[in-house]
Amino acid sequence: MQLIDIGANLTHDSFDHDRDAVLQRARDAGVTRMVITGASREHSPKALELAQAHPGFLYATAGVHPHHAVEYTAECDTEMRALLAHPEVVAVGECGLDYFRDFSPRPAQRKAFERQLQIAVDLAAKGMGKPLFLHQRDAHDDFVAIMREFEGQIGPAVVHCFTAGKRELFECLDRDWHIGITGWLCDERRGQHLRELVPNIPANRLMVETDAPYLLPRTLKPLPKDRRNEPAFLPHIVEELARDRGEDVAVTADATTATAAAFFRLP
C-alpha cells in the first residue's frame, strides 16, 4: 500500500522524543505522504516547519481549532494568512465547531470559524485557493448554516475525523464535501455506526487519517503500551475500512490515496 495520512498532529509534544523514528515507521508501513495538522497559533507554524524539513513527504495545514477559538485575534488572522502563503501549507484549518467539549464559548467558535472561511474566500479570489480542513462535533446544524453563507466562494472541503450519523453524512455528501475516516471506525463502543455508513461514501470523496497521537485503533494487536497513535497504524485503519466497504484493501488504498493527492493538489 502507498497511503496518504491526511491528518496527523505530529507537532504534539508526545512525539518530541522520537519524531524521526515515528516518521521512519510511517514510511516503512507504506505511508508515502502526510499532512500535518495545524490547529493553533502555536502549532500551525510548527507544522509548517516540519513540512519544510521533509519536502515531498510532509505537508501542513494552518488554522485554529474551535478549542482555541478565543485566541483568534486580528493578529492571529494575520499570522494564519502569512502561513497559508507558503506552498507547503496545503489547506486552511483545522477550523470549525465543537459543541461537545465547548472549550471555547460558542460565539467565539463561530466567529473564528467565519474568519477562517473568509481566508479561504480571499485566497480563492486571488487565484491561490486552498481546500478547507474542517472539524465538526455535535454542532452539525450550526456548522452547515455557517458553511452555507460562504457557498460558491470557497473550494473543496473535507470534514475530517467524521464521527456523526447518517443524516449528517448525507448532508455533507450532498454539498460535495469530502469525508476523513480515522481509527474511530475501529472503536466497538463508539464506531459501530460508522461501519454501516462508510459504504455510502463515494471513493472520490473518501480519505483516511490517523489523527495521531489521538484515536488509537482499538482493534490493533498488540496495542502499544503508551496507547499513542501514530501514522504507521494507518494501514490497519484502511484494512478495516476496506472490509466494511466490501472491497479489496488495494482498491481502498489506491482510491483514498488518489483522492487525497487530488484534493490537496500534492505532486
Report yes or no on whether pTM surpasses 0.75. yes
**pLDDT tens-digit profile of 154-176?**
999 999 999 999 999 999 999 99
List the alpha helices (DSSP H) in 15-86.
19-28, 43-53, 74-84
Q: Which amino acid would we find at residue 256? A: T
| Nearest Cα residue to 138 out of 103, 176, 173, 174 | 103
* For the chain, percent of residues with pLDDT exceeding 90: 97
Residue 188's pLDDT band (cuts 50, 70, 90): confident
**pLDDT tens-digit profile of 4-44?**
999 999 999 999 999 999 999 999 999 999 999 999 999 99
The CATH number covering residue 156 comes to 3.20.20.140
* For the chain, percent of residues with pLDDT exceeding 70: 100
Grid coordinates given for 193: 455506526
Position 214 scores a pLDDT of 97
List the alpha helices (DSSP H) in the chain.
19-28, 43-53, 74-84, 106-125, 140-149, 166-174, 192-197, 234-245, 249-263
**pLDDT tens-digit profile of 52-70?**
999 999 999 999 999 999 9
Has residue 261 got a pLDDT over 90? yes
Looking at the structure of the chain, the number of domains it has is 1
Question: Which range marks the domain in which residue 162 is found?
Answer: 3-263
**pLDDT tens-digit profile of 81-121?**
999 999 999 999 999 999 998 999 999 999 999 999 999 99
